[in-house]
Structure 1
Amino acid sequence: MKIRITKKFDFEAGHALYGYDGKCKNLHGHSYKLVVTVIGSPITTPTHVKQGMVIDFGDLKRIVNEQIIQQFDHAMMLNSNTPHIQLLEELKAQGHNVIALPYQPTSENLVADFAKRIKQQLPPEVSLYSVRLHETESSYAEWCADDNE
């Protein structure tokens, strides 16, 4: 029997899309909503402390907090290829949380990166099913395991 477990997370972050031809080329921020779903079989060992669980929600929360939230919350995300790299370095030197990413910080690229980070930390008996990243209330990108295997 396979069961899916889902946990939601919120974080604030800013970004700018280098070379983009619209408003998102400018520095701006979002109230991101991250929805992580894993799948697995509940533990059936009667003496196991986590009997009946696919994964403890607290363990999933710890993984996502360590791999994503602690790093990206209240950060400014920029493509490391931006010509504004000097500005990025100046902001870092002043103590600002600025992340230079090896990709354009779109929702699509972020959700793929987040999925990779989460997958690497899950116990072997639990699989990542999907990751959804809402950039706004009405816009999101979603990574699904079925589409990526």
Structure 2
Amino acid sequence: MYGFTIVENLQKMNDDINYHELKYHQKRVMVSKEFTFDAAHHLHCYEGKCKNLHGHTYKVIFGISGHVNDIGIVMDFGNIKQIWKEQIEVHLDHRYLNETLPNMNTTAENMVVWIYEKMEEALQNDPNDCRVEFIKLYETPTSYAEARREWVSNE
């Protein structure tokens, strides 16, 4: 049998731990968050099934790095969600992508760079020097495109 312990004395600020102890290190750390959205699109100049209007349940994974703040947080996951909801998802979820994205062939390869650019733009002037390290865009559970900082920045 596995036992469990009930915590009887919660750690208290200024009694058991002090403010200056909350930040354990000064290293760059990556946090990651994923989202899904449903959208329709079709591809131009493509001979295959995808030239026809069809849809996907996409999955996006963000990898964002930064330095921890005074209490040991790089970026609150809720802030990543807020950027996603207000600045990116509104252009994607339950939309016809050929209509809502800039003029491009709506391939996963093009879309992942657009998503990267939108998130990078949202992180400008972040106090913890947050930046996008990678974005993965899954078009199906087994097929994805990826944009990485070193690829996008060095072009």
TM range (shorter): 0.7 to 0.9
Q: Where do 5+ consecutive residues of structure 1 fail to align?
A: 46-50, 79-97
Structure 2 residue identity aligned to 1:5: V
Provide the C-alpha distance between the structure 2 equivalents of 1:148 and 1:111, rounded to a whole number of angstroms: 11
TM-score by length of 2: 0.76
Equivalent pairs counted in the alignment come to 124
Higher-RCO chain (CA-CA 8 Å, sequence separation at least 6) = 1
Q: Where do 5+ consecutive residues of structure 2 fail to align?
A: 1-26
Deviations 1:88-109 (A, max 9, x none): xxxxxxxxxx425311000000
Structure 1 residue identity aligned to 2:122: Q
Which has the greater radius of gyration?
A: 2
Provide the C-alpha distance between the structure 2 equivalents of 1:37 and 1:17, rounded to a whole number of angstroms: 28
Provide the C-alpha distance between the structure 2 equivalents of 1:100 and 1:142, rounded to a whole number of angstroms: 18
Match of 2:60 among 34, 37, 45: 34
1:83 corresponding residue in structure 2: none
TM-score by length of 1: 0.79
1:93 corresponding residue in structure 2: none
Identity fraction in percent: 35
Matches within 5 A, 1:12-27: 12-27=38-53
1:59 corresponding residue in structure 2: 79
Structure 2 residue identity aligned to 1:69: E
Structure 2 residue identity aligned to 1:131: I
User: 3-state DSSP class of the match of 1:142?
Assistant: strand
Structure 2 residue identity aligned to 1:16: H
